[in-house]
Amino acid sequence: MRYLWPDYVYTPRGWQRDLLVALDEEGRIAGLQPRFAADGAVFPLPEGAVVEPLPGKALLPGFVNVHSHVFQRALRGLAQRPVSGHDTFWSWREAMYAEAQRLDPERLYTLARATYREMLAAGYTTVGEFHYVHHQPDGRPYPSPNLMAEALLQAARDAGIRLVILLAAYARNDFGQPALREQRRFCDPSVAAYLGRVEALRALGAAVGLAPHSVRAVPEDWLRAIAAYSRRERLPLHIHADEQPAEIESCLAACGCRPLELLARCEVLGPLTTVVHATHADQRELALLASSRTCVCLCPTTEGDLGDGIPPYRDFLAQGIPLAIGSDSNTRLDPFEELRWAEYTARLRYGERRVLVAGAAASPGPYLLACGCEHGAAALGVEGGRLEPGRLADLVAIDLEHPMLQGWTTENLLDSLFFGASAEVVRAVWVAGKQVYVR
């Protein structure tokens, strides 16, 4: 048995000092036990036990990046240039489509491996990769129809990150509109062909989730079939919705209801489902999310970058809707910054402080950590997100001596991390008990 021995461990009961984290052969946490007895004596360990001391470090669960389009990392910086006289989400999408056209399996692999390493260095141990660039630029499948997804699987293995591949279904440009030329490589000819690719990826042993791209890109019969498959196979289902007002308007015009109402009608909402963004959800839609126990994934740095708007954070909390985070376009990779911007944009929306909290008397730190870890793990169907026996040993060591954290106490350490620090305080990262990053 191996044991990690940091100064502090963040457990479901809060910070604990001098706890040993036992790691088993399967990459899970076998147990948490005190290093010392009450009289100060060292607890005896089994013969052959290896203890790795981590002085000056605190262990957190690894962060879960629920929503990534890894290739969009190539747009960092580039996409700030003017595309038109009035740049919006839609003009940004043109730049993104141009980048998507340039991809081939090799370029995708190289970009993904580097970006997944960047994620690990920032403290993300799991990524949900919402992958939609499937086929050749003219739409013809590669000789192996999942070649691009296989490039991502290989990149994740080589980087050492835990990957859940959210295989996107795409059929058209918008309600009643065929796919644009630059969308052809995203599209499958039928929902049966799409589900066939899902099955082929699962046969490779990959962790797979369903991902109908959006109500714009996928017709109702596809939504129903994919949701039924998700329920039958107990697989997570992720979908973009309500990111931009134009999507809501076209949904109302085509279907007579809003996107989340359409998803409810097609039985897409539920505890296995995560809606990405929900920025412009109205009260009826929020009630549908709450009653179906659907998760919402927020991507505050991307939503800020694209000018999407500020989501209705207070309503999410009031209705008990679980929130997770994603780096989405990968314009920034830093879970502390991502979560800080969730709280900061909420403050800007409501003109008050302390919005994302677990209770009236709480500070934001513990709730932000739950969004970054536990809720994200649940959204991807991964048994991580908390440091407790039986969970995956996906861990992040924080440098307690970093100048950004000077003055910390166990009462304020999480708040110091989220409001005063960046991913620079991450010193080491483990995935399934294996160290995959050290600074």
Q: Which residues are catalytic?
A: 277, 328
Which one of the spans 55-63, 195-203, 328-336, 408-416 is the region binding Zn ion (CB under 5 A)?
Answer: 328-336
Min separation Cβ 70 and Zn ion, Å: 11
3-state secondary structure of 244: coil
Partnered with residue 21 across adjacent β-strands are 4, 32
Tokens read off for 384? 């991580």
CB closer to Zn ion out of 308 and 394: 308
Element (H, E) at 98: helix 89-102
Task: Please report where in the chains the tokens 């536990």 appear, as a residue.
Answer: 374
Within 8 A by CB and 6+ apart from 340, the residues are 368, 418, 419
Cα(429)–Cα(338) distance, rounded to whole angstroms?
19
Min separation Cβ 173 and Zn ion, Å: 16
Min separation Cβ 241 and Zn ion, Å: 11
> Considering only residues 16-75, where is the footprint of Zn ion by CB under 5 A?
none
Element (H, E) at 325: strand 323-325
CB closer to Zn ion out of 135 and 213: 213
Min separation Cβ 340 and Zn ion, Å: 20
The CB-nearest residue to Zn ion is 328
Partnered with residue 399 across adjacent β-strands are 57
Cα(401)–Cα(212) distance, rounded to whole angstroms?
45
Which one of the spans 22-30, 45-53, 189-197, 327-335 is the region binding Zn ion (CB under 5 A)?
Answer: 327-335
> Considering only residues 120-139, where is the footprint of Zn ion by CB under 5 A?
none
Cα(141)–Cα(133) distance, rounded to whole angstroms?
11
Cα(199)–Cα(197) distance, rounded to whole angstroms?
5
CB closer to Zn ion out of 36 and 90: 90
Min separation Cβ 236 and Zn ion, Å: 15
Count of positions on this chain that bind Zn ion (CB under 5 A): 1
Give the up-direction half-sphere exposure of residue 162: CA atoms within 13 A in the CB hemisphere.
Answer: 30
Which one of the spans 96-104, 163-171, 324-332, 369-377 is the region binding Zn ion (CB under 5 A)?
Answer: 324-332
Task: Please report where in the chains the tokens 């000056």 appear, as a residue.
Answer: 56
Within 8 A by CB and 6+ apart from 337, the residues are 301, 422, 423
CB closer to Zn ion out of 168 and 396: 168
Which one of the spans 15-23, 162-170, 320-328, 428-436 is the region binding Zn ion (CB under 5 A)?
Answer: 320-328
Which one of the spans 87-95, 173-181, 201-209, 326-334 is the region binding Zn ion (CB under 5 A)?
Answer: 326-334
Contact by Cβ (8 Å): 8, 24:
no
Give φ, ψ of 187 to 5 degrees: -95, 145
CB closer to Zn ion out of 355 and 380: 380
CB closer to Zn ion out of 275 and 382: 275
Min separation Cβ 212 and Zn ion, Å: 13
Cα(374)–Cα(148) distance, rounded to whole angstroms?
29
Cα(11)–Cα(410) distance, rounded to whole angstroms?
12
Min separation Cβ 302 and Zn ion, Å: 7
CB closer to Zn ion out of 28 and 213: 213
C-alpha to C-alpha distances, 66 to 43, 146, 169, 303, nearest whole angstrom:
39, 21, 17, 15
Q: Which residues form the interface with Zn ion (CB under 5 A)?
A: 328
